């Protein structure tokens, strides 16, 4: 297997992975989305809420706030010693009086290492004398239980070779997306790749744009929601895959 870095930023990573198949790539994708755990608010108790949002809606918005996650300090609820195990949950508070805009940064965390990944995320706007006071509990969870626990968006496509046979679309101009055209109105093959429009273009007319997919090469992209770094997400995903394979191997030995 050969892995090449295509691009990298703070919360996004693109890799070209050669010498494998769609089964492995999709397993990696699903493991990232469904199995890598993160912290998220799971329960909210309101003392006061006179905002425009009713309790359930505000609780939903709190639950969707990405929280920076320290996987070394917390465990999944089913791995806790008991209900009071401090590794199984994190207490947070929110208290504010209007007029003001309430941001994710207004959430007070019991653990200074666990803070909202996007402090300027708007939760609600309070008018004069409107109040919010609530207590929340965050737990470690997995995306297969609820998508609020998913650490990232992961997706892939086969590495493709794009051949432009005619730069003028002619009568097919309305069939192709305008994003593939340069300033002069001609097809730019680089734009087809950068705009992720290969699937859109490949089946319209092969006499204009021909796309050849490589069955053993994939362009794999991860976009983190901010709870974990890209490196931590990948390390955890590979660790989980290894553990599942080991468990499967042990079960197979029992059959013998």
For the cut 90, the answer to whether the pLDDT of residue 12 exceeds it is yes
Give domain status of residue 228, yes or no: no
The per-residue pLDDT for 188 is 84
CA distances from 221 to 6, 16, 22, 189 (A): 9, 9, 14, 20
| Structural domains of the chain, count | 2
| 3-class state of residue 236 by DSSP | helix
Strands (E), 110-208: 122-126, 131-141, 152-164
For the record, the structure tokens of 222 come out as: 């991860």
Distance CA 40, CA 136 (A): 10
- One domain, residues 42 and 101: yes
CA distance 186 to 14: 27
End-to-end CA distance of the chain: 32
115 and 163 housed in the same domain: no
| CATH number assigned to the domain comprising residue 214 | 3.30.1360
pLDDT at position 61 over 90:
yes
CA pair distance 90, 109, nearest whole angstrom: 8
pLDDT at 160: 86
The per-residue pLDDT for 189 is 80
**What integer pLDDT is reported at residue 256 of this predicted model?**
67
Alpha-carbon distances, residue 94 vs 62, 98, 103, 142 (angstroms): 10, 13, 10, 25
Of 202 and 19, the one with more pLDDT: 19
Residues 7-26, mean pLDDT to the nearest whole number:
95
Cα-Cα-Cα-Cα dihedral sign, residues 95, 96, 102, 105: negative
25 and 125 co-located in one domain: no
Of the listed ranges 43-57, 113-127, 186-200, the one predicted with least confidence:
186-200
Residues 179 and 118 grouped into a single domain? no
Q: Are residues 179 and 141 in the same domain?
A: no
For 135-189, how does the pLDDT look when each residue is reduced to its tens digit (9 = 90+)? 999 999 999 999 999 999 999 989 988 888 887 777 888 888 888 888 888 888 8
Residue 188 has φ and ψ, to the nearest 5°, of -110, 110
Q: Do both 42 and 141 map to the same domain?
A: yes
Write out pLDDT tens, residues 245-255.
Answer: 999 999 988 88
- Which carries the bigger pLDDT value, residue 156 or residue 192? 156
Residue-wise pLDDT for 225-246, tens only, equals: 999 999 999 999 999 999 999 9
State the residue for tokens 């199995």: 35
Instruction: Please check the confidence at residue 193 and state whether its pLDDT lies above 80.
Output: no
pTM of this prediction exceeds 0.85: yes
Q: pLDDT tens digit string along 109-137?
A: 999 999 999 999 999 999 999 999 999 99
Question: Domain check: are 175 and 83 in the same one?
Answer: no
Asked if the structure places residue 211 within a domain, the reply is yes
């Amino acid at each position: 297997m050969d892995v090449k870095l295509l691009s990298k930023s703070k919360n996004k990573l693109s890799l070209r992975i050669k010498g494998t198949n769609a089964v492995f790539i999709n397993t990696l994708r699903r493991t990232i989305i469904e199995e890598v755990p993160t912290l998220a608010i799971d329960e909210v108790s309101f003392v006061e809420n006179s905002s425009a949002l009713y309790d359930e809606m505000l609780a939903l918005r709190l639950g969707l706030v990405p929280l920076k996650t320290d996987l070394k300090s917390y465990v999944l609820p089913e791995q806790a010693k008991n209900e009071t195990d401090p590794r199984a949950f994190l207490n947070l508070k929110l208290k504010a009086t209007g007029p003001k805009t309430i941001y994710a940064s207004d959430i007070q965390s019991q653990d200074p290492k666990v803070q909202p990944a996007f402090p300027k995320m708007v939760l609600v706007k309070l008018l004069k004398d409107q109040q919010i006071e609530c207590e929340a509990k965050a737990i470690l969870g997995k995306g297969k239980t609820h998508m609020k626990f998913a650490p990232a968006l992961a997706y892939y496509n086969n590495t493709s070779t794009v051949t432009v046979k005619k730069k003028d679309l002619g009568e097919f101009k309305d069939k192709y997306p305008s994003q593939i055209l340069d300033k002069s109105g001609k097809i730019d093959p680089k734009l087809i790749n950068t705009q992720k429009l290969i699937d859109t273009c490949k089946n319209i007319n092969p006499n204009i744009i021909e796309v050849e997919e490589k069955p053993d090469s994939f362009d794999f992209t991860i976009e983190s929601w901010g709870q974990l770094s890209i490196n931590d997400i990948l390390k955890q995903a590979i660790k989980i895959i290894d553990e599942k394979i080991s468990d499967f191997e042990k079960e197979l030995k029992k059959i013998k």
